[in-house]
């Protein structure tokens, strides 16, 4: 049976084979226990993505001795903003002004929270994400917030086996990032690509892939 360490290695090889620029690997550990994270950490992985606040906080408690980097990648409910701001290093899923402002307020006295705007590109799998037309305004808002550092954009396209379609959707996100860069924003992060479509995402300029099942196995609940 494949171990987490061997699957992690295989994912790194997939990234290396395709990437022409450095691509960071975020291990998406949602629904997996602290033990699985520890196993990945022992194999050299430091950055982990979680989608459910309560579940993540419990694992953080158990793993507090390890030097881990925590990324929040799920939908953000207002009543969870304080916990997210207090416990995570990154947030990939900001999609509205109100949440951005609350995150910044709740982050005061700490190093800036590294954030991405989640964009609802065509074929987005979830209803969350800012519309492409709202992204510039949201970037302006975040830029003015003291405790947030805008790093880039994130998207979750609907799964499809059509590689051309995968690439077209990722290209949309890259184009939006390039537009913002032309307007003077320094965005170094394109958070796109998951277990089944990371090659397409990397070919379209992804700088961070978020990979769950290819590392930990298929989830019991999704
Ligand atoms: C679950 C999840 C992933 C990982 O998906 P896999 O297909 O298991 O690699 C990536 N990004 C987000 C936002 C997720 O919720």
CA of 29 to the centre of ligand 1 (A): 9
CB atoms within 10 A of CB 134: 16
Q: What is the mean pLDDT of the chain?
A: 96
Which residue puts its alpha carbon closest to atom 14 of ligand 1? 73
Which residue puts its alpha carbon closest to atom 5 of ligand 1? 212
The verdict on the CB of residue 73 being under 6 Å from ligand 1 is: yes
pTM: 0.96
Q: Which residues contact 110 (CB under 8 A, 6 or more apart)?
A: 85, 86, 147
The verdict on the CB of residue 213 being under 6 Å from ligand 1 is: yes
Question: CA-CA-CA-CA torsion for 196, 155, 146, 182, nearest 10 degrees?
Answer: 110
> pLDDT tens for residues 23-43?
999 999 999 999 999 999 999
The verdict on the CB of residue 118 being under 6 Å from ligand 1 is: no
Q: Which of 8, 10, 49 to mutate to test the pocket of ligand 1 (most atoms within 8 A of CB)?
A: 49
Query: What tokens does 49 get?
Result: 């993505």
pLDDT for 1 equals: 66
Please report the atom of ligand 1 found closest to the CA of residue 195: 9
Give yes or no for a contact between 103 and 94, defined as CB atoms under 8 angstroms apart: yes
3-class state of residue 69 by DSSP: strand
> pLDDT tens for residues 165-183?
999 999 999 999 999 999 9
Q: Is it the case that residue 222 has pLDDT exceeding 70?
A: no
**CA 50, CA 59: separation in Å to the nearest integer?**
10
The verdict on the CB of residue 195 being under 6 Å from ligand 1 is: yes
Sign of CA dihedral 24, 206, 144, 135: negative
**CA 175, CA 122: separation in Å to the nearest integer?**
13
Angle between helices 97-106 and 135-143 (to 10 degrees): 20
Cα 62 to chain centroid, rounded = 22
The verdict on the CB of residue 99 being under 6 Å from ligand 1 is: no
The percentage of residues in the chain with a pLDDT greater than 70, rounded to a whole number, is 97
Give yes or no for a contact between 41 and 68, defined as CB atoms under 8 angstroms apart: yes
Please report the atom of ligand 1 found closest to the CA of residue 73: 13
Give yes or no for a contact between 99 and 88, defined as CB atoms under 8 angstroms apart: no
The verdict on the CB of residue 142 being under 6 Å from ligand 1 is: no
Query: What tokens does 181 get?
Result: 């860069």
> pLDDT tens for residues 124-135?
767 789 999 999
**CA 110, CA 204: separation in Å to the nearest integer?**
34
pLDDT for 127 equals: 77
């Amino acid at each position: 049976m494949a171990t987490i360490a061997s699957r992690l290695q295989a994912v790194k090889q997939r990234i290396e084979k395709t990437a022409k620029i450095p691509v960071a690997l975020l291990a998406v550990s949602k629904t997996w226990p602290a033990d699985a994270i520890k196993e990945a950490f022992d194999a050299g992985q430091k950055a982990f993505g979680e989608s459910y606040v309560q579940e993540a906080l419990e694992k953080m408690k158990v793993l507090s001795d390890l030097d881990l980097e925590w990324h929040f990648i799920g939908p953000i409910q207002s009543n969870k903003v304080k916990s997210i701001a207090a416990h995570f290093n990154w947030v990939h899923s900001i999609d509205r002004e109100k949440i951005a402002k609350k995150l910044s307020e709740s982050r005061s006295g700490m190093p800036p929270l590294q954030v991405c705007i989640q964009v609802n590109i065509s074929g987005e799998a979830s209803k969350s994400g800012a519309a492409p037309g709202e992204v510039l305004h949201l970037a302006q808002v975040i830029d003015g917030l003291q405790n947030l550092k805008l790093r880039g954009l994130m998207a979750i396209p609907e799964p499809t086996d059509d590689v051309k379609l995968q690439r077209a959707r990722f290209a949309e996100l890259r184009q939006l990032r390039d537009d913002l860069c032309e307007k003077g924003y320094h965005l170094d992060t394109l958070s796109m690509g998951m277990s089944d479509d990371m090659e397409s995402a990397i070919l379209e300029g992804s700088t961070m892939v978020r990979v769950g099942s290819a590392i930990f196995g298929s989830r019991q609940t999704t």
